[in-house]
Every structure is written in C-alpha cells, then in structure tokens.
C-alpha cells in the first residue's frame, strides 16, 4: 500500500502537481486495515480534507470504512470478487466496530453485502468501478510465464494505480515513469509492474466508459521539487547539521529515520572529503541516549530518535545530560499514548512530559516543528543550539509529520551554518589551566572534547566543582546550579524570533489561534477558507516550547477576544503552559485525540463555529478511521 501511494504521489509530482499524503496503519505486519490518503492539487496542499473523490480499495473492509467519505460524483474502485462479501462476515472488524455497522445498517436500511452498500452509495451518485483483479493477474502471469499467481498478487497495488489514473485521464507515461523510479533498484520487477500498470489502465479505458468527472491534468513547472516524509526530512536535516552519531532502539514512528540514515551513511561534501554517520541500534533506549551523550562528550554531534515509550526510558539519561551540560539531540516523534497507547497513531500528548521530564531542575531546549520543511531545518538547527548552549535539545515532532508526505520545492540548504559554540582545541589550551565547568557570566563554559591534550577534566552525575569533581559544598552548589540555569536566559535572548513564534493570518484581528506541531497545515488552510468568507483571525505557531518566550506570547495574546487553542490532545497542554507563563488562558479549545491528525475540513468547521458563537468552549474533533 505504501508503494502504491508512493508511485501515485510520484506520478502526480512528475505532472507538476502538489501532493499531501497521510499514511494510516495498525500495529501489525499485515491483516488489519491500512490506508493512504492522498490529496493532489495544482496549488500547494498542506493537509487532508474529509472529502474523498476516488476510493481505491484492495479489500472489502476498505470500502466499508470509507464509503461514506466518498462524495457525490466520486468513485470507488473495488475488487469484483468482494462484491458478494457479507459485510458482517469481515473477520478483521473488532466487535465494537461491528456494533457501529449494525446501527448504521439499521438506520440507513443497508443490505448485507458489499454490493448492497455500493448500490446505496450509487444513490448518492457515487460511481462504482468493479475490477476483476484475479483475472488481470492471471493474464499478467500468462504474459510473463509465471504460473504461480500468488507470487504476483502484491501487484494489485499497481493495478489499482493503473485503473485510478485511467479514470482520472492522467498521462500514463508519467505513471510509468513513477513505477520505474520506484522499482529502479529491482531490475525486472520494474518491467513487470509497468506491464501491470498498462494492462489495468487499458482495462479501465475499455470497460469504464462511465463519465467519471474528476480529472488530473499535468501542469508545467520550472522548479525542482521533492516529495518526502518527515522522517526523511529529519534525517537529511540531521546530517546537514553535522550529526555523525545516531543511536536508536526500534520504535514506531521513529525508526524509519534511523534506517534511512544508515542507508545513506556515507555522504559527499563540497570540500571533497567524504563524511559518514555511524548509526547504532542499541539494546534499549537507555543505551541509546547514554551512548549518544558519550559520543557528544567525545566531540561528535550526536543524536537519538524515539517516541514516547522510548523517551520514558531515556529520562534519567536526560537528567545526566542536563547536569553535565551535554550537547545531545533527542528527536521525539509523539504517538498515541499513554503506555503502548495507539502505537501507530498520531498524538501531541507529550508536551508537558518533555518540558518537565527528568529528576531535578536543569536546562533544556524543546523545539517543535510544524511541517515537513521545518522538520528539515530544525533538525539541523538543533545541533547548533545544543552545542552553543551545552544542553540537551528535544526536537519535538509527531506521527503525523513522521509519516505524512508532502511536495516541496527542493530545500535550499546551502546557507546553513555550523555553529559549534565555545569549543576549544589543544592549541587554545596550551599553557592554560582548563576547567570544564568554569563559572562564567553567561553560564556557558568553553568545552573541550574528551581526548584533547591540555584539557583534562571530569564529568560526574553528582553535583560538581568547576573541574568536574564531586562537590556537595552549598556555596558551590548555588553557583553551579545557577550557572546551568542561567543559560536559559541566553537562549531566550539569542534564539531568533521566527524560531520562537511564527505568525500567520490577520494577527491584528481580535481572534487568535494558538497551536504547535502538525495541526499547522490544516489551520493555515482553514484560515484561508475563513478569510474568503470575511472571517478574520490570526494564528500563532509556537516553535520554541521551552524556554517559552512568555513575553512575546503575552504581547501577541493580550486583549484578544478569542484565543483558540488547537491541539491533538485531551488537556490542551500548550494552552495550559501559556496560561501558566502569561496568565492568559485560551477562551476555546479545538482538540482531537482519536489518534488521527486534524483535517482542514474539521478545523475549518470548528473555527467557523467558534467565530460565529455557535460552538462550545471545547470542540472535540473525530473525523477519520
């Protein structure tokens, strides 16, 4: 399914179209319902919407779960063999969903087979396109001389794409190119898939004369574009930012990033000498954070990537890194929680966790990206922040960004500067007395990598003196703790405003949306829609979650009639943190905790209801299966 979505997205990209894709899957290897929701447009697309124009189903369950999202004049591609499937016999439905279906069947007077459901949809002018996938596969098998059809059943995904593009009257050459590019490394598999694509395309052209009105038309573009996921963007940002050691323990939805890095381990440079990142799969997340810290002490830019359960294990190591002023970066992809929670689903429930995690008081930076492009640049910036201020940096992301794909103009990264902060070399140290934790005005003490001549020093998890030896003297404790915490003031002062907060829309309006992370795309699109209707509001995206730029936030929110907090969690955590820091509480909350990201449609609906005083103080969103 991912392959199909990738081919589809690529083919659209080749035709100059923008794509936004969202991947939804269960915590299993195969069997349960997975889907990929793609939105395509000649204009930039930042999020999904509720409406589906074309549903391409590999199985009966997909039809049942999504048929009501298909709009009038939309289409459903379905396997002919599934038409007689009795909906209540679908084994993968959990009992609580069967109850829902039964209720629906009663209310809508729906029959028991999939065909009954499809006929019901036809009454809404939904077009149904049954495809005999097995027959097509048999024909392909014959042509290729493959007797065992089970070996090529996975090609159903490419068949679906062929049918889809034929219905959409899209240039089949572009689809062919996308198939070739996707299977480039797999030799003759690429040819087999091109054949399958064309047979499906032909089949649809010959059999579906029905005038499906939706079209995909290529447009000319004169810029290079990328279609990528947040995981990939972060990986690239990391190596750009100088990350040379990455440690991880497998966890959804973070592991893809590390695997991508390992696959691209050796990198060319403009200076001519190759560089490389070492990726270590550790035995657990405890080892991951602590070995990353070790690497950072030795002078490498080092990071680890994880999700909630993994970060929970890292917390003691985080405290050590804070105490010992270690420039280590933690990429944190939030997912549905608590405990194992919704392990493959989206959430933003860990904001308060990351700003408070760890025993004791120590400085840290928490930086939250709101889209895939920000993921890239922030991943690089995180290392500058970590080394300049010598503290752990948590780059806070979420499953939506990790697994969504989006089209962007190729990133222009040529101007990115590496700032290693106060880092001393053997030469700087010659003839001088060096103290690793020297008391300074800013709190930042010049750093020396382990192994440097003339720079001998110690680290300890205990409170320590300037040299790094254990000290429990009260006056030293005061000075050392204050020195560490003082660095946060420097962070607040020096981080550029646009890395703290970003403003969009009409910020002078009496209404202000506040949010962070992946809801950004849906909010921006909703803002545009509302503006066209004459409804004015601004949007403040919080990027520097910690230390929170409280004065700036206060200034932006003071005097607003409505402050609308939009988050993928239950408590409205950012809203709460803002209230603590500024005394200004959100007047409204738009929250979603189904494990699915917000769509533009539902954010628009909620904001509109709030602005027209038709909403309650808390709007809970629920769209998506």
Partner 1 sequence: MVLKPSDFRVPEVYADWCPGCGDFGIMNGLHMAFADLGLEPHQIVMVSGIGCSGKEPHNVKAYGVHTLHGRTLPFAMGIKVANPALEVVAIGGDGDGLGIGAGHFVNAGRRNLDMTYIIHNNGVYGLTKGQASPTLRLGLQTKALPKPNINEAVNSIQLAVVSGFTFVARSYAYDVRHLRDTIKQAIQHKGLAFIDCLQPCPTYNNITTKAWYAGEDRLDDAGKPQSRLYKLEQTGFNPEVHDWSEDLEKKIVAISKAQEWGDRIPIGVFYKNELEPTFEARLKDRIPFYMERPPAKQKLCDENGLAHIDLSEFMENLKTS
By CB under 8 A, the residues from 388 to 407 that bind partner 1 are: 407
Binding to partner 1, residues 426-445 (CB under 8 A) = none
Q: Is 217 in the site for partner 1 (CB under 8 A)?
A: no
Q: Is 516 in the site for partner 1 (CB under 8 A)?
A: no
Q: Is 29 in the site for partner 1 (CB under 8 A)?
A: no
**What is the spatial distance between Cα 131 and Cα 246, in angstroms, rounded to a whole number?**
46
Nearer to partner 1, 373 or 582 (CB): 373
Picking from 282, 268, 132, 271, the residue whose alpha carbon sits closest to that of residue 200 is: 132
Window contacting partner 1 (CB under 8 A); options: 127-135, 279-287, 331-339, 363-371: 279-287
**What is the spatial distance between Cα 168 and Cα 563, in angstroms, rounded to a whole number?**
42
Nearer to partner 1, 362 or 604 (CB): 362
Whole-angstrom CA distances from 221 to 14, 42, 214, 244 are 9, 10, 22, 36
With tokens 């003297």, the residue in question is 473
Q: Which residues contact 564 (CB under 8 A, 6 or more apart)?
A: 511, 512, 513, 514, 537, 586, 587, 588, 589, 590, 607, 610
Count the site residues for partner 1 by CB under 8 A.
91
Q: Is 267 in the site for partner 1 (CB under 8 A)?
A: yes
**What is the spatial distance between Cα 271 and Cα 276, in angstroms, rounded to a whole number?**
14
DSSP-assigned states of every residue in 389-410: HTS-EEEEEEHHHHH-EEEEEP
In whole angstroms, how close is the CB of 450 to partner 1 at the nearest point?
5
In whole angstroms, how close is the CB of 14 to partner 1 at the nearest point?
6
Q: Is 570 in the site for partner 1 (CB under 8 A)?
A: no
Q: What letter would DSSP give residue 273?
A: S
Q: Give the SS3 label for residue 592.
A: strand
In whole angstroms, how close is the CB of 408 to partner 1 at the nearest point?
9
Q: Is 504 in the site for partner 1 (CB under 8 A)?
A: no
Q: Is 16 in the site for partner 1 (CB under 8 A)?
A: yes
Q: Which residues contact 605 (CB under 8 A, 6 or more apart)?
A: none
In whole angstroms, how close is the CB of 480 to partner 1 at the nearest point?
15
Q: Which of 122, 169, 438, 453 binds partner 1 (CB under 8 A)?
A: 453
**What is the spatial distance between Cα 181 and Cα 185, in angstroms, rounded to a whole number?**
8
Cα Rg, the chain, nearest whole Å: 27
Q: Which of 160, 290, 445, 568 binds partner 1 (CB under 8 A)?
A: 290
**What is the spatial distance between Cα 242 and Cα 394, in angstroms, rounded to a whole number?**
16
Binding to partner 1, residues 244-263 (CB under 8 A) = 244-245, 247
Nearer to partner 1, 287 or 368 (CB): 287
Q: Which of 75, 253, 317, 443 binds partner 1 (CB under 8 A)?
A: 317
Q: Which of 1, 4, 10, 331 binds partner 1 (CB under 8 A)?
A: 10
| Tokens of residue 423, six digits | 């880092």
Element (H, E) at 618: strand 618-621
Nearer to partner 1, 26 or 264 (CB): 264
Nearer to partner 1, 389 or 434 (CB): 434
Preceding peptide of 253 cis, ω within 30°: yes
CB atoms within 10 A of CB 617: 9
Helix axes 172-182, 2-14, angle to 10 degrees: 130
Beta strands at 588-592 and 562-567: parallel, antiparallel or unpaired: parallel
In whole angstroms, how close is the CB of 580 to partner 1 at the nearest point?
30
Whole-angstrom CA distances from 55 to 39, 41, 70, 497 are 12, 17, 7, 43
Q: Give the SS3 label for residue 317.
A: helix
Q: Is 341 in the site for partner 1 (CB under 8 A)?
A: no
In whole angstroms, how close is the CB of 360 to partner 1 at the nearest point?
13
In whole angstroms, how close is the CB of 239 to partner 1 at the nearest point?
5
In whole angstroms, how close is the CB of 122 to partner 1 at the nearest point?
35
Binding to partner 1, residues 76-95 (CB under 8 A) = none
Q: Which residues contact 202 (CB under 8 A, 6 or more apart)?
A: 166
Contact status, residue 102 vs residue 51, Cβ threshold 8 Å: no
Q: Is 45 in the site for partner 1 (CB under 8 A)?
A: no
Indicate the burial class of 316 (C-beta count within 10 angstroms; 0-12, 13-18, 19 or more).
middle
DSSP-assigned states of every residue in 158-181: HHHHHHHHHHTT--HHHHHHHHHH
At residue 359, φ and ψ (nearest 5 deg) are -80, 140
Q: Is 424 in the site for partner 1 (CB under 8 A)?
A: no
Q: Is 240 in the site for partner 1 (CB under 8 A)?
A: yes
Q: Which of 411, 439, 504, 570 binds partner 1 (CB under 8 A)?
A: 411
Q: Is 449 in the site for partner 1 (CB under 8 A)?
A: yes
In whole angstroms, how close is the CB of 329 to partner 1 at the nearest point?
13
Window contacting partner 1 (CB under 8 A); options: 112-120, 233-241, 359-367, 547-555: 233-241
With tokens 């999020």, the residue in question is 47
In whole angstroms, how close is the CB of 13 to partner 1 at the nearest point?
2
**What is the spatial distance between Cα 387 and Cα 487, in angstroms, rounded to a whole number?**
12
In whole angstroms, how close is the CB of 497 to partner 1 at the nearest point?
22
Q: Is 190 in the site for partner 1 (CB under 8 A)?
A: no
**What is the spatial distance between Cα 185 and Cα 301, in angstroms, rounded to a whole number?**
32
Binding to partner 1, residues 522-551 (CB under 8 A) = none
Q: Is 104 in the site for partner 1 (CB under 8 A)?
A: no
Q: Which of 157, 306, 348, 452 binds partner 1 (CB under 8 A)?
A: 452
Q: Is 496 in the site for partner 1 (CB under 8 A)?
A: no
Window contacting partner 1 (CB under 8 A); options: 119-127, 275-283, 575-583, 609-617: 275-283
Nearer to partner 1, 135 or 275 (CB): 275
Nearer to partner 1, 455 or 575 (CB): 455
Q: Is 413 in the site for partner 1 (CB under 8 A)?
A: yes
Nearer to partner 1, 25 or 227 (CB): 227
Q: Is 180 in the site for partner 1 (CB under 8 A)?
A: no
Nearer to partner 1, 107 or 283 (CB): 283
């Amino acid at each position: 399914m991912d392959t199909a979505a990738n081919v589809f997205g690529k083919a659209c990209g080749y035709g100059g179209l923008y794509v936004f894709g969202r991947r939804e899957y269960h915590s299993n290897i195969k069997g349960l319902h997975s889907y990929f929701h793609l939105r395509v447009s000649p204009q930039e697309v930042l999020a999904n919407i509720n409406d589906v124009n074309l549903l391409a189903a590999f199985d009966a369950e997909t039809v049942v779960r999504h048929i009501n999202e298909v709009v009038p004049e939309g289409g459903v591609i379905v396997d002919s063999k599934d038409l007689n499937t009795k909906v209540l016999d679908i084994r993968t439905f959990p009992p609580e969903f069967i109850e829902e279906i039964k209720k629906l069947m009663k209310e809508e007077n729906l029959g028991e087979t999939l065909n009954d459901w499809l006929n019901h949809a036809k009454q809404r002018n939904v077009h149904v396109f049954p495809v005999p996938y097995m027959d097509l596969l048999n024909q392909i098998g014959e042509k290729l001389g493959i007797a065992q059809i089970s070996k090529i059943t996975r090609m159903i995904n490419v068949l679906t794409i062929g049918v889809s593009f034929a219905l959409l009257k899209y240039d089949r050459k572009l689809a062919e190119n996308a198939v070739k590019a996707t299977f480039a490394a797999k030799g003759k598999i690429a040819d087999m898939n091109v054949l399958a694509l064309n047979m499906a395309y032909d089949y649809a052209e010959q059999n579906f004369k029905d005038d499906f009105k939706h079209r995909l038309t290529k447009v000319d573009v004169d810029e290079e574009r990328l279609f990528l996921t947040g995981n990939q963007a972060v990986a690239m940002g990391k190596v750009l930012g100088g990350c040379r050691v990455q440690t991880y323990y497998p966890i959804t939805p973070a592991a893809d990033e590390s695997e991508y890095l390992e696959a691209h381990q050796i990198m060319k440079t403009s200076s001519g000498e190759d560089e490389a990142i070492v990726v270590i799969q550790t035995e657990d997340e405890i080892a991951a954070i602590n070995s990353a810290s070790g690497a950072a002490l030795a002078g490498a830019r080092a990071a680890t990537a994880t999700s909630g359960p993994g970060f929970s294990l890292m917390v003691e190591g985080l405290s050590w890194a804070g105490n010992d002023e270690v420039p280590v970066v933690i990429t944190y992809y939030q997912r549905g929680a608590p405990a194992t929670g919704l392990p493959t689903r989206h959430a933003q429930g860990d904001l308060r966790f990351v700003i408070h995690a760890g025993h004791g008081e120590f400085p840290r930076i928490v930086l939250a990206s709101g889209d895939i492009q920000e993921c890239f640049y922030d991943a690089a910036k995180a290392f500058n922040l970590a080394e300049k201020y010598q503290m752990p940096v948590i780059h806070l992301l979420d499953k939506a960004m990790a697994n969504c794909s989006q089209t962007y103009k190729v990133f222009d990264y040529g101007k990115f500067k590496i700032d290693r902060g106060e880092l001393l070399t053997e030469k700087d140290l010659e003839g001088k007395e060096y103290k690793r934790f020297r008391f300074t005005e800013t709190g930042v003490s010049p750093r020396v990598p382990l192994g440097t001549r003339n720079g001998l020093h110690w680290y300890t998890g205990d409170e320590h003196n300037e040299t790094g030896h254990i000290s429990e003297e009260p006056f030293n404790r005061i000075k050392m703790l204050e020195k560490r915490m003082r660095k946060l003031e420097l962070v607040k002062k020096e981080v550029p405003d646009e890395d703290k907060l970003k403003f969009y829309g009409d910020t002078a309006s009496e209404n202000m949306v506040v949010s962070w992370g992946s809801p950004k795309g849906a909010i921006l699109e909703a803002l545009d829609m509302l503006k066209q209707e004459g409804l004015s509001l601004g949007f403040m995206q919080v990027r520097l979650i910690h230390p929170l730029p409280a004065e700036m936030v206060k200034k932006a929110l003071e005097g607003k009639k409505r402050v609308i907090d939009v988050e993928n969690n239950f408590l409205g955590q950012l809203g709460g943190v803002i209230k603590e820091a500024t005394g200004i509480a959100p007047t409204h909350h738009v929250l979603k905790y189904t494990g699915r990201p917000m769509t533009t449609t539902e954010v628009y609906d909620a904001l509109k209801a709030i602005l027209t005083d038709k909403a309650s103080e808390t709007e809970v969103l629920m769209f998506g299966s």
